[in-house]
Protein backbone atom coordinates (compact mmCIF):
# COMPACT_ATOMS: atom_id res chain seq x y z
CA UNK A 1 0.00 0.00 0.00
CA UNK A 2 2.96 2.36 0.40
CA UNK A 3 2.83 3.14 -3.32
CA UNK A 4 -0.57 4.77 -2.83
CA UNK A 5 0.56 7.06 0.00
CA UNK A 6 0.59 10.76 -0.75
CA UNK A 7 -0.16 14.05 0.95
CA UNK A 8 -3.84 13.69 0.05
CA UNK A 9 -4.12 10.74 2.41
CA UNK A 10 -3.30 13.18 5.22
CA UNK A 11 -5.95 15.79 4.44
CA UNK A 12 -8.77 14.15 6.38
CA UNK A 13 -6.90 13.58 9.68
CA UNK A 14 -5.41 17.10 9.54
CA UNK A 15 -8.86 18.56 8.85
CA UNK A 16 -10.37 16.57 11.75
CA UNK A 17 -7.67 17.72 14.18
CA UNK A 18 -8.06 21.37 13.21
CA UNK A 19 -11.86 21.40 13.33
CA UNK A 20 -11.81 19.58 16.71
CA UNK A 21 -9.75 22.55 17.94
CA UNK A 22 -12.50 24.94 16.80
CA UNK A 23 -10.62 26.17 13.76
CA UNK A 24 -12.32 27.28 10.58
CA UNK A 25 -10.53 25.46 7.74
CA UNK A 26 -10.52 25.87 3.97
CA UNK A 27 -8.83 23.16 1.94
CA UNK A 28 -7.33 23.85 -1.48
CA UNK A 29 -7.42 27.63 -0.91
CA UNK A 30 -6.66 29.50 -4.20
CA UNK A 31 -3.50 31.61 -4.29
CA UNK A 32 -4.69 34.57 -6.35
CA UNK A 33 -2.04 35.59 -8.86
CA UNK A 34 0.16 32.50 -8.59
CA UNK A 35 -1.42 30.46 -11.38
CA UNK A 36 -0.17 30.30 -14.93
CA UNK A 37 -2.16 32.23 -17.55
CA UNK A 38 -4.73 29.81 -18.92
CA UNK A 39 -3.68 27.13 -16.39
CA UNK A 40 -4.73 25.99 -12.95
CA UNK A 41 -4.38 28.37 -10.06
CA UNK A 42 -2.00 27.33 -7.31
CA UNK A 43 -3.74 26.30 -4.11
CA UNK A 44 -2.70 26.12 -0.46
CA UNK A 45 -3.46 22.80 1.16
CA UNK A 46 -5.01 24.49 4.22
CA UNK A 47 -5.96 28.04 5.19
CA UNK A 48 -6.85 28.06 8.86
CA UNK A 49 -8.55 30.63 11.09
CA UNK A 50 -8.19 30.12 14.83
CA UNK A 51 -8.64 32.25 17.94
CA UNK A 52 -4.92 33.05 17.75
CA UNK A 53 -5.11 34.20 14.13
CA UNK A 54 -4.73 32.87 10.59
CA UNK A 55 -2.17 30.41 9.31
CA UNK A 56 -1.50 28.30 6.25
CA UNK A 57 -0.29 24.72 6.00
CA UNK A 58 1.29 22.98 3.05
CA UNK A 59 1.64 19.20 3.33
CA UNK A 60 4.41 17.19 1.68
CA UNK A 61 4.85 13.42 1.49
CA UNK A 62 8.60 12.79 1.31
CA UNK A 63 9.35 10.01 -1.15
CA UNK A 64 13.10 10.62 -1.05
CA UNK A 65 15.62 11.92 1.48
CA UNK A 66 15.82 15.20 -0.42
CA UNK A 67 12.60 17.11 -1.01
CA UNK A 68 12.12 19.98 -3.42
CA UNK A 69 9.73 22.30 -1.60
CA UNK A 70 10.11 25.32 -3.90
CA UNK A 71 6.45 25.31 -5.00
CA UNK A 72 5.22 24.78 -1.45
CA UNK A 73 7.44 27.61 -0.25
CA UNK A 74 6.18 29.89 -3.02
CA UNK A 75 2.58 29.40 -1.86
CA UNK A 76 3.48 29.89 1.81
CA UNK A 77 5.40 33.09 1.05
CA UNK A 78 2.44 34.32 -1.01
CA UNK A 79 0.18 33.74 2.01
CA UNK A 80 2.56 35.54 4.38
CA UNK A 81 2.77 38.52 2.02
CA UNK A 82 -1.02 38.68 1.68
CA UNK A 83 -1.48 38.22 5.46
CA UNK A 84 1.55 39.80 7.18
CA UNK A 85 0.47 38.91 10.73
CA UNK A 86 -0.15 35.28 9.87
CA UNK A 87 1.99 32.16 10.17
CA UNK A 88 2.81 29.64 7.45
CA UNK A 89 3.94 26.04 7.93
CA UNK A 90 5.21 23.10 5.93
CA UNK A 91 4.35 19.70 7.34
CA UNK A 92 6.49 16.87 5.91
CA UNK A 93 5.40 13.26 6.37
CA UNK A 94 7.02 10.02 5.29
CA UNK A 95 8.83 6.95 6.46
CA UNK A 96 11.45 7.48 9.12
CA UNK A 97 14.17 6.33 6.73
CA UNK A 98 13.21 9.17 4.36
CA UNK A 99 12.63 12.04 6.80
CA UNK A 100 15.09 11.34 9.61
CA UNK A 101 17.91 13.09 7.71
CA UNK A 102 15.67 15.07 5.36
CA UNK A 103 17.22 17.76 3.16
CA UNK A 104 14.84 20.46 1.98
CA UNK A 105 15.54 22.49 -1.13
CA UNK A 106 15.47 25.47 -0.89
CA UNK A 107 16.56 25.70 2.76
CA UNK A 108 14.52 28.74 3.76
CA UNK A 109 12.46 27.04 6.47
CA UNK A 110 13.03 26.67 10.20
CA UNK A 111 12.08 23.42 11.91
CA UNK A 112 9.56 23.73 14.74
CA UNK A 113 9.83 21.17 17.53
CA UNK A 114 11.25 17.70 17.14
CA UNK A 115 10.29 15.05 14.59
CA UNK A 116 7.48 12.73 15.69
CA UNK A 117 7.56 9.04 14.77
CA UNK A 118 4.98 6.27 14.94
CA UNK A 119 6.00 2.62 14.76
CA UNK A 120 3.20 0.65 13.07
CA UNK A 121 5.14 -2.62 13.20
CA UNK A 122 6.45 -3.07 9.69
CA UNK A 123 7.10 0.61 8.95
CA UNK A 124 7.92 3.64 11.06
CA UNK A 125 6.23 6.81 9.83
CA UNK A 126 7.07 10.31 10.90
CA UNK A 127 6.32 14.00 10.64
CA UNK A 128 8.51 17.10 10.66
CA UNK A 129 7.11 20.61 10.95
CA UNK A 130 8.69 23.77 9.51
CA UNK A 131 7.85 27.47 9.73
CA UNK A 132 8.41 30.08 7.04
Which tens digit of pLDDT belongs to each residue from 20-37? Answer: 999 999 999 999 888 666
> What class has domain 2-131?
alpha beta
Neighbours of 121 (CB within 10 A): 5
Start-to-end C-alpha separation, the chain: 32
Q: Kindly list the domain boundaries of the chain, sorted by start residue.
A: 2-131
Q: What's the pLDDT score for residue 71?
A: 92
With a cut of 50, list the residues of the chain below it in pLDDT. Answer: none
pLDDT at residue 86 in the model: 96
Q: What is the pTM of this model?
A: 0.89
Amino acid sequence: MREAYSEYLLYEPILRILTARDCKVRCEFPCAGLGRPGGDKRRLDFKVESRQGEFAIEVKWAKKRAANVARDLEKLLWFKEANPRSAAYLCVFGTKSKIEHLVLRPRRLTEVGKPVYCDVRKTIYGCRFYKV
